[in-house]
Amino acid sequence: MMTFGNAIKKTRVSKEVSVMKDKLIKYLKDFLIESEGWDEFNIKEQARAIFTTICLIGNIDADTAECDILLSSLYDKYIMPFKELYDSTEYENWKSYMLEFIV
């Protein structure tokens, strides 16, 4: 049975998770901006690890609109403008790579 105290704790945890998810998304965006190039193995692995963490903490499943929006906004803003530097990474390949550990 849900008590008032448990409901408050659940709400507080939900807010904390939301704040953490937002901070991690900002961190990933900053990381992609500061990266020297998507074609470096460590950059790819670190970006995917951060993205996977965001999905696990934020309870974001691969087949959800929230995941699709996050991936497409990251790609459009942080990968596409530098596509020539990132070894012509196509969206579907990039998406599959980023989702590998959550599907």
Q: Residue 25 pLDDT more than 70?
A: yes
**Percent of the chain at pLDDT above 90?**
50
Averaged pLDDT for residues 74-80: 84
- Look at 85 and 32; give whichever has higher pLDDT: 32
**Number of independent structural domains in the chain:** 1
Mean pLDDT value across residues 19-34: 93
Q: Does residue 13 register a pLDDT over 70?
A: no
Task: Write out the residue range of the structural domain in which residue 11 sits.
Answer: 4-99
Q: How many CA atoms lie within 13 A of 44 on its CB side?
A: 15
pLDDT digits (tens, 9 = 90+) for 29-44: 999 888 866 778 898 8
CA distance 67 to 10: 23
For residue 51, what are its two tokens?
A: 């993205």
Band (pLDDT 50/70/90 cuts) for residue 68 is very high
